[in-house]
A and B are shown apart, each in its own frame.
Chain A
Amino acid sequence: MVDSAVNTIGFPVLSLIVLVPLAGALLLLWLKDDLQIKRLALLVTTLDLALTLTLLAHFNPDTHLMQFSEKYQWIPALDIHYALGVDGISVLFVFLSAFLGWICVLASWRAIEQHVKGFMCALLVMQALMLGVFCAMDLFLFSIFWEAMLIPMYLIIGVWGGDNRIYAAFKFFLYTLAGSVLFLVGVIVLYFEGGQSFDIQILMTQKYPFAVQFWVFIAFFIAFAIKVPMFPFHTWLPDAHVQAPTAGSIVLAGVLLKMGAYGFLRFSLPMLPLATHYFATPVVLVSLVAIIYGGYLALAQDDLKKLVAYSSISHMGFVTVGLFALNVAGLKGGILQMFSHGIITGALFLLVGLVYERTHTRLISDYGGLMKVMPIYTTGLAFFTLAAMALPGTGAFIGELLVLVGVFGFSKIVAALAVIGALLSAGYLLSMFKRVALGKVTNQALTNSRDLDAREVVTLLSLALFVLWVGFYPMPFLNIMHASVEHLLQQTQAQVVLISR
């Protein structure tokens, strides 16, 4: 029934990857001491990261088929299975989630002082669910992971957030819930139209009539566009980011936003190819608006976290514009941009968090001359600022380059306009860096700030490693996704060719 999958490891590695953080969260409940809790959380996430590295090491990049598949019957009456599997696209995000999960524990070492046990539990549960989303091969299972993610994230923002956390948590919850409801509607339609199966691979091979595709695409689009977030569904994002604790922001920017784009890749493009082609131009235009409008808004921010949040909207616009250019370069660029944006924006939120822990302010105007007080920190800030600007030699440059090459194949004018976003990003990032790091120390409260310690430096260095790796040697990443992207593109085009004949 299902393509015989290639599993080269002798144990259910995907289940382990999903369940290890969950088991860790349960274990934490027995501990009392905060330091022990943190150490266990670190151990669990390190183990999980090691497992994903094993996964990558055994991944076969020559096939688009699902690998490491596991499938057990769950609710036979509805043909629901517990089915996991990864292809060349999702395996990258499995790694990204596990990696950023590890970073999050390190980032919360000192930032979280109250209810440490609850926080670490929420973080680990969150990680398990995110990994579940990227591994799920059954639509029902996927939806459960997808919906359940809301709860720990709601708690992370609502309990450990800033002053206005309740408002931000509610806004986040309501927006995402609205999207989820539409997503569920789409799922149910697919289930009945697609031969009453929840198996994602079976659903991919169905040929739905255009009318069905049209409406399901709209439902899915709204659901995913809220997650990405795409203009005009982006307004929850700045509030959520500003109020969330550092680890929350990292997860939100690094992984949750990617899920929207992943949804497009996994469902909209292969299952609804006709509607995808029909809607490609509007989606590209909306993405273009996000690129420019997000950058323009970032230019006006005085709050560091808001600035990074709005820049995310702009950078994610590059992702969606690449995906909907519907060609190899665009798709690869979009996926690579997702990956490197996860790393770079995660690092930027971490940097904002690090300095906030010390100074308790996020206003750019409260800073100035940080280079003189915290030279190591400022070096890190400079590096990731330049990375976010997509300087050649960093991952974002390769992502944007490939996206632009892809968009040239779609429309040269769109590509030319997308460059405005790149220009704006140089504007807000350089001006932010200048105002924060250079010049005289104007705020006396800064003078006693201690520079980074070894733990913080290691965290930043591990992120920087990937920025440079993707920036100079992206071939391993592109090779992993190559077969899957080619296959995805065939799926998207096959039906269109049939119809147009």
Chain B
Amino acid sequence: MAASESITPVLAILVSFGAALVILALHQRPNLRDATSVIAAVIKFMLVISMAPMVLRGELIEYNLFTVLPGIDFAFRVDPLGMVFATTSSLLWIVAALYSIGYMRSLNEHAQTRFYACFAVSLSAAVGGSFAANLFTLIIFYEVLSLITYPLVYHHEDEAAWEGSKKYIVYLMGASKTFLLIAVALTYFLTGSLDFAHDGLLKEVSSSPLILTLLYFCYLFGFAKAAIMPFHAWLPAAMVAPTPVSGLLHAVAVVKMGVFCVLRVIFHVFGVQLMGDLGLGIATAYLVSFTIITASLYALTRDDLKARLAYSTVSQLSYIVLGAALLSPGAMVGGIMHIAGHAFSKITLFFCAGSIFCACRRRKISELGGIGHRLPWTMTAFFIASLSMIGIPPVGGFISKWYLIVGAIEAQQLAFVLVLLISSLLNAAYFLPISYTAFFDKEAPPSGAAPTAPIREIPLMAATVMTTALLSLLLGLYPDYFLSLAQEVIK
């Protein structure tokens, strides 16, 4: 593939880092500070999308900073897979930045400067990860993302926040320390390089299948952000964070960083050929199918809205990995598409949960009776996004699920078609009742803690949730951009 050199990817990464410094400097001027977030988000998205035409033409954009060790560079390469992740996270940052302003101000949250600064840096880390040209660069950004989101998770600084954030950091750092360091060292030992290769870095390595299998699972579990069971418990625990964090980070940037890394390993470290030869694809597929079904069952039993969404995320992330693991063209496209498909819908769902909380301080689904009449925009957005998650046309989630099912058939793995269908039913079972309750149940009597003020839409927040909902609808109607990128990946 043709490659050209450009500093744009580095600039795209640095924009939000620079914004974080400005945000810290402006801590006395909240309006300017919050405007900085939005402006930086727009600039970042423009920079990212400016590279899209080249990538869609099948060209790569590279930028090599310096050589760290022989075979290891600190380098960036913009390729179609990275573009999928970078576009998704930078586009949604714009929406999330606007939504955060509404959320943080209406709840009068403390430490808002820290919040916005960490938020901005985490976007640098996410885009840095998506443009990383090798495992070394990727892991730097991966770890930065774990650490910079830690203050966002303990934001409330109460007992629950410390508990949740402890679990968060222990799982993420523990997994990466245990598995990633050794996996990277072994990869470097075997190949003398850490560069991603189009058909797999390890393809010409002669090592015992046992070692390679162990190596693979070190990567799979080391990237615990992908939340594959049994390393998923940090995700529900992270729900103690303010909702914009749950929305953008724990439905888009952080978790997608996890699955993105797993996809990188499957496609560009091991390669489709080696994955198939070692039987690792099918093993992974079974593993994640277990996660898909089990997490959905967990979600069914949760009455706390954010907890239900969190388990739904665990389940949906495994769709992405399932797609890659099936190793058939259709499934791989489906998996990659679902990075975007899930992101747009899940951020909507989380933001709706946040809007509900801001409007009436309710977290439990059982308390949401009749809320649809008070918050019509929010609950409509919620309904659209639910349909996407279930996989009903024409919303975005349908496209990815379609490709996944086609891919499973292509791979002649009908068991996984069944998994996809069952999980769709489960999705419907835990999402539709929420909308039903909101629109058709009787209004719940106000509980003691509820504010006496009438429950009303907060305009900025309602507008942003509708935007993301429409975006996920648009993704279903015009999936072309992400679809062509995904097809470029598997070429």
Contacts and interface: CB of A to CB of B under 8 A. Distances in A.
Q: How large is the interface on A (under 10, 10 to 19, 20 to 34, 35 or more residues)?
A: 20 to 34
B352 interface: no
B211 interface: yes
B181 A404 contact: yes
12 contacts: A389-B177, A393-B140, A401-B69, A404-B186, A404-B189, A408-B189, A415-B186, A416-B182, A422-B177, A430-B170, A430-B173, A439-B157
A377 B386 CA distance: 47
A434 B166 CA distance: 9
A184 interface: no
Nearest to B182: A419
A430 B174 CA distance: 11
Interface residues of chain B: helix, strand, loop or mixed (majority): helix
Interface string B159-192: 0001000100110011001100110111011000
Given A401-B69, A416-B182, A475-B67, 16 more contacts: A386-B147, A389-B177, A400-B185, A404-B182, A404-B189, A405-B185, A409-B189, A419-B177, A426-B173, A430-B169, A434-B166, A438-B154, A440-B157, A472-B66, A474-B68, A475-B68
A12 interface: no
A232 interface: no
Given A392-B140, A438-B154, A475-B69, A401 B184 contact: yes
Contacts of B74: 472
Contacts of B157: 438-440
Contacts of A416: 182
A472 B68 contact: yes
Interface residues of B, number: 28
A182 interface: no
A400 B180 CA distance: 12
A412 B218 CA distance: 14
A47 interface: no
A436 interface: no
B110 to A, nearest CB: 12
B136 interface: yes
Nearest to B142: A392
A272 to B, nearest CB: 28
A339 to B, nearest CB: 15
Contacts of B69: 398, 401-402, 474-475, 478
Contacts of A386: 147
A35 interface: no
B109 interface: no
Contacts of B154: 438
B189 to A, nearest CB: 4
B178 A419 contact: yes
A278 interface: no
Contacts of A392: 136, 139-140, 143
Interface in B133-157: 136, 139-140, 143, 147, 154, 157
Nearest to B180: A392
B189 A405 contact: yes
Contacts of B174: 423, 426-427
B181 A422 contact: yes
B23 to A, nearest CB: 15
A401 B181 contact: yes
Most buried by A among B74, B139, B170, B189: B189
A391 interface: yes
B177 A408 contact: no
Contacts of A398: 68-69
A423 B162 CA distance: 21
A473 interface: yes
A430 B154 CA distance: 14
Contacts of B169: 430
B189 A423 contact: no
Interface string B192-208: 00000000000000000
Given A473-B66, A473-B68, A405 B188 contact: yes
A430 B169 CA distance: 9
B188 A423 contact: no
Interface string B105-119: 000000000000000
Most buried by B among A401, A409, A440: A401
Contacts of A430: 169-170, 173
Contacts of B162: 439
A389 B154 CA distance: 21
Given A386-B147, A391-B143, A423 B178 contact: yes
